[in-house]
Structure 1
């Protein structure tokens, strides 16, 4: 036994000795492979009889291995340039300098999300203080060449914390790239679900909302800039029946039923050029969140959708900005750091249409002012005796102050203005020339401020307030009747909101809050001859408390909320439950269920008699719970979403019922346009989206089917099609990166025509006293011809200087120049009161535009 134990011990000792010897020789071998650069340089000087000039600090701690196959000095120096962060340069055959100056390298990395380790497609990667930049591909990979070793690489992605690295830390070695994990921002549990949706800069969130990131926004057909309200019309279920951003219809709703917020300020005006151009400058807008259903209980006062625009909210240490122009207007924006804790953001845009009429302006002018006093002339006023002068502008400013990392203050202002002057010269019976000047102004001015406080890792609060003033003023002097007509519509709203967020853990968040608003609306009409003056002003105070629980564990997402509204004037109490549920069934397939109750107290009426020069027929009015009730909506939608290999299949059915609408705010061209009645509408249908994205292209097709009917119980017939009852709507688009800096987009829209009403055949007019009216037939029993439009855009990026990025974009709306009829109605024929005249409003014809932009 002893002998056996001795043998085992001897064998173990031999094995141990062998292991020690093996490790020793391995370490020695590795030490021989990796040599100090200073030693390598000394050996090269001896071997090749050359002299290296360098700083000891630059080469210290640098270890290199010279492959045996490298025999010549030139090959060895080239290899050292590749594998080190130093610049080896021959001054002549014998002298070589070594330094970090002018050293450029290739950097790369793969970006993944921290929550699910999915690659981040479409992230923005820029080299600070240069014009270099790139977007990550579908694998989350980016590569940048010729980057200085000490340059700062900034990586940003909507919904994630911005990361910054020295270029030398991202050095590409042996075709290997570093993996970078970006952390999601912690303000909310609502995570990004689809990183590239339709085009770069559009994203789908877990709660079903869509986010437009204007900084990284790609290109959409027909557009030369990321026009916010034009861009969201690419989403299924969102369209404009008369191609106006002032009339966006979401799931069959009217434009005034959309809640539009700009940095928390309620906006009552949406479009320049009376609806054809978004009134919000996109270049300081950080993101736009569009929600069609399942809205957070934080928001109400809009029974259709919520469009929440948020400007940039971080302080950068460097001055940056941009400027540009197209055939309609010029704009500029600047981010001005004052200190590390204080910054100022400002933007401005103004049209030059009052100085220069471009082909684009002529197309927009004819579209906006058709069938108005500007284009409809009386017999004794010739074309040469009238003129118009139109311009618009907008501006924004934001003050950012960080008291510390946990206390931040923000203050902001936005101003929007449209101005139209119209002049006519008139020759009376005595051969005397008289003239008149009419004016139409639209303004929306807003102020807001907020204080955000982080009290702990779990508790945050936000206190905000705003003031919004909207005004439409018209002064119409009619020379032929010597009558002056003045009209005013003014809205004043003040709001306060307190939000308290408490994060129980990584999966559950609680939101509680209180909101107060006071809305005052004034409508005034003054006529000089015969003398008539009418002014009406209403004020309404609303108190609301909201609560919400949000849960997300990457497989299950639930947001349950309730909002309690109290209208002080009417002693009315409304309870609004909210639901947003998403369940991942298998790794790539999810089920979603959304529902909400919402209300709205301010709506628009369309007044065909007092119509602001025939241009702007809409007036804001306030609910009185008698002839104008508070509108209330109920909506539920459900569907499935499949997302794999950058393919997205999304199908969703919806049912929406809105109660409390009136005949006066629907814009009827039928026998009901002068009758006061209260009713409702019901929209139901389905939306289908198929989207394929890749590094170089994106393509999608969407289809919406919808049935939308009115019900007015006091009218005959009580049920008839909605004015925006668009049964079928199809949108197709394709974006392609032809070259690294050249992108094209082409797309089209087809939809069935909207309903309209014909006069009774053979009995087209009816007389009441001394007045003759159109005798309309069954309401909305006819449909316009199908609407079809093809648009295209081209975008070319280039660098004017090292730090000035530039782009040229060309967009063409209605490439085929198709004459679409967007509205039809009838008027009594002044020459024969027994007949009518058919009026047809047409869409934009072929409309080109070109923009040039610079950013630094």
Structure 2
């Protein structure tokens, strides 16, 4: 019996030892799990890298121990060191680092002492590392003397390595940077999707665009005419006048490519697809020094989007054209984007199309003073247009991106006109073609968070070809105008601090122009070809302090024209200061020059058909145009009220009379001079919940100065003394409606002194140039859109607009001619659009 008891005791102790041994072994767990338990018990946070703790297993410390006792226990059992920061954060690092040349540390936010992930650490050799989820970083200390630490929303720090001991871990705290947006930027102007930047430019976001009277699509060139100081004297987007300048004095850029044709249907429709643009920037004054070759405004249209968004497709149709748009991601770093638009006039004549034709090719009422009869011109017209774009976007690694853009535009017109006067038939056939093709290759590299380089090479080609056949081939007139423009732009951006930015660059441009005139009877042939090459060096410094609300950008552009061995210096200024939280002062100024302009040579009356041709300066009879402009404005915003008052002065030297569209005694003269404009622009706006209303007024005093002419000073052809516009806009959810009115004083015209002419020497004797004005212009417009979406995410949008609701007959031009049949004076009048409806439908998914 005793023997059996002894055996039982031995078995008991044997299994007890096994059990204890098993329990001891089961207590050996991964260090990561121990750290998690300590975090929960003591409400702390461990910061470490995975490679320091991976693979370490040990018996957990007793839960009854204090935090410091547990840390000492872990240090004893491992090769790690534990740094306790205020019993809240505990940094873990390897003791091996104490003897190595590795510099490491943790980066925290000052606001909440939390570690910061993905903080950029940049070195002088352009290399870069980022912190992990615990805010930890490390690097070998070899030849690096200092490094920068930057993170979105925090002030950048520069750290010197010279005095850093590699045996100690760094603890770096980043201070948040206040990024208040200027008050003027956050406010919608005229409509949602339109804002004004601190640099004085207006910015339009078509994808966020609301609605404006008469518009159902975010047409860039139609929209910009709502901005005070910008209008079109003949309702054409191919004749936009900014503070009294001619259309060719504006620089139109599409993704960095200069566009020489801006309108379809001879200006009634923009060539830029309104459903494609991502951002439209408009500068009336104070443009960046990187913009050259214009003495008036800059309109920069960009369809670039760095984000790789989801695939997108949309298609739409209105009463003039149909279009499609598609974007497809080729990979997570690349996409292709295509768009196309074509007139529907080949198979359908809508009421809108008919009104546009009546406007452009209206059978002008030509009154014969001597016989008091009307001449009725019969015409047969065929017209079509299209435009298309393609974009390829590719990200290469983390620093580079490449974009390829192509755009093509084409308009075709065939017009046959005939008239019977005194049993004599006079017929005329016109064939007109306009094309504009452009392409560019854009490369951007972010060397680091502080230095960026952009290189853009571009090519633009424009051709105007016109053939006129008069009376069954008795006379054939051919006119051709060709422009080829190519160049390279290099831009470097340097962030010196959170407030200072320095930009520099170089631009090379080669532009060639060909003008051909040929007549078979009498025999005449003329072909002129010119080429100009220009180099430009650009320097620009920007100071932007959002706390003190000071924005200052000073730029300088140095142009060198090879052919003339001529240097032109162009300073630029943008200044914006917040006098208080409601009131901003803005000062803009610039000197600019332009070598290419449009003229009307061998003037012929095409009844509204395009007749302007691009030519290059020869530095003598066709001078280099130079402008200088200064504007001062106050911008006030409070309680959803907005008031902007701007006074400006503008002078443009080197203009030629043939570039101003004279149709009086200066029509065939070739003289040079300048124009000077003084003006005031006022905008008052109020927003009440979903309702927005605004009233704008523009006054300008615009005069020519031709010193060698018998009338040295007289009103500018594009002077409109007073312009007044009003709009009321209501937007709620997906419904939008806008009603607006425009009133302006009539444009200047020149009247003849007498309605009679000398039969032996038929010539019109005029009064002084622009001695009188047309009657005022008045128009009321309406537009509305509605958008809805299906449960499958397909969006539909329908829009309707009516231009000139009252069907008012507004005269927009008047000039005089000698009738070739009767040798009498004819008065030619042209009018604005009559009541013109439009309807659009769009689908997107």
Structure 2: tracts of 5 or more residues without a match? 1-151, 154-175
| 1:802 paired to 2:792 | yes
2:738 corresponding residue in structure 1: 745
> What secondary structure is seen at the aligned counterpart in 2 of 1:349?
strand
Which of the numbers 431, 434, 440 marks the counterpart of 1:439?
431
Where does structure 1 lack aligned partners over 5 or more consecutive residues? Answer: 1-159, 162-182
Aligned counterpart, 2:389: 396
- Within 5 Å, give how 1:118-517 maps onto structure 2: 193-370=185-362, 387-423=380-416, 438-480=430-472, 482-517=474-509
1:673 Cα deviation (Å)?
Answer: 1.1
2:805 to 789, 807, 815: 815
Q: CA deviation at 1:528?
A: 1.9
Is the aligned partner of 1:616 residue 2:618? Answer: no
Q: How far apart are residue 591 of structure 1 and its match? A: 1.1
Task: Tell me, in whole angstroms, the C-alpha distance in 2 between the residues paired with 1:592 and 1:690.
Answer: 17
The answer as to whether partners of 1:476 and 1:613 remain within 8 angstroms in 2 is no
Q: Is the CA contact (8 Å cut-off) linking 1:474 and 1:613 kept in structure 2?
A: no
Q: Secondary structure at the match of 2:711?
A: coil
User: What are the superposed Cα offsets for residues 54-107 of structure 1, whole Å, 9 maximum, x if unpaired?
Assistant: xxxxxxxxxxxxxxxxxxxxxxxxxxxxxxxxxxxxxxxxxxxxxxxxxxxxxx
1:527-676 correspondence runs (5 A): 527-554=519-546, 555-607=549-601, 609-610=603-604, 615-676=609-670
Distance 1:838 1:789 in 2: 24
Cα distance, 1:436–1:787 mapped onto 2, change above 3 Å: closer
Return the offset for 1:316.
Answer: 2.7
Secondary structure at the aligned position of 1:193 is classed as: coil
SS in structure 2 opposite 1:692? strand
Change (3 A) 1:435 1:588: closer
**Residue in structure 1 matched with residue 703 of structure 2 by the alignment:** 709
Is the alpha carbon distance of 1:650 and 1:436 closer, same or farther for their aligned partners in structure 2, counting shifts above 3 Å? closer
State the partner residue of 2:833: 844
Deviation of 1:827 after TM superposition, in Å, equals: 1.3
Match of 1:727 in 2: 721
The 3 A distance-change label for structure 1 pair 814 and 498 is same
Deviations 1:235-272 (A, max 9, x none): 00010111111111111111110000000001111110
Contact 1:317 1:340 in 2 (8 A): no
Aligned to 1:687, what secondary structure does the other structure show? strand
Q: CA deviation at 1:197?
A: 1.5
**Which whole-Å CA distance do the structure 2 matches of 1:571 and 1:184 have between them?**
48
**Partner of residue 116, structure 2:** none
Q: Secondary structure at the match of 2:266?
A: coil
Deviations 1:525-577 (A, max 9, x none): 11122322110111000000010001111210100011000110001110011
Which runs of structure 1 show a deviation greater than 6 angstroms over 4 or more consecutive aligned residues?
183-186, 188-192, 372-376, 381-384, 424-427, 433-436
SS in structure 2 of the partner of residue 609 of structure 1: coil
C-alpha contact 1:477 1:484 (8 A) present in aligned 2: yes
- Secondary structure, counterpart of 2:360 in structure 1: helix
- Does the residue aligned with 1:475 lie in a helix, a strand or coil? strand
| Other-structure match for 1:14 | none
Paired residues of 1:189 and 1:552 also in contact (CA < 8 A): no
Partner-residue secondary structure (3-state), 1:559: strand
Give 1:285 deviation, angstroms: 0.5
The aligned counterpart of 1:150 is: none
Does the Cα contact within 8 Å between 1:765 and 1:773 map onto a contact in 2?
yes
- Distance in 2 of aligned mates of 1:190 and 1:573: 37
Report the RMSD for the aligned CA atoms in angstroms.
Answer: 3.0
Deviation at 1:208, TM superposition (A): 1.1
Partners in 2 of 1:338 and 1:253 — Cα distance? 44
In the alignment, which residue of structure 1 is the partner of 2:120? none
Q: Helix, strand or coil: the match of 2:238?
A: helix
> Normalised by the size of structure 2, how large is the TM-score?
0.75
- Give me the whole-angstrom Cα distance separating, in 1, the residues matched to 2:762 and 2:563: 41
Contact between 1:549 and 1:559, CA under 8 Å: does it hold in 2? yes
Query: How much has 1:639 moved relative to structure 2?
Result: 1.7
User: Within 1, Cα distance between the matches of 2:313 and 2:722?
Assistant: 43
What is the CA-CA distance between 1:645 and the residue it aligns to? 2.4
Report SS of the residue matched to 1:772.
coil
- What is the Cα deviation at residue 799 of structure 1? 2.3
Q: Is the Cα–Cα contact under 8 Å of residues 361 and 607 in structure 2 kept in the other structure?
A: no
> Is the alpha carbon distance of 1:239 and 1:613 closer, same or farther for their aligned partners in structure 2, counting shifts above 3 Å?
closer
Larger mean Cα displacement after TM superposition, 256-265 or 741-750: 741-750
Q: 1:571 to 1:374 in 2, by over 3 A?
A: farther
1:317 is displaced (CA, Å) by: 4.8
Per the TM alignment, residue 837 of structure 1 is displaced from its structure 2 partner at its CA by 1.8
Q: Normalization by structure 1: what TM-score?
A: 0.74
**1:681-696 alignment runs, 5 A limit:** 681-696=675-690
CA contact (8 A) 1:503 1:510 kept: yes
Distance in 1 of aligned mates of 2:605 and 2:540:
43
Instruction: Verify the 8 A CA contact 2:401 2:445 in the aligned structure 1.
Output: yes
CA contact (8 A) 2:367 2:828 kept: no
SS at match of 1:455: strand
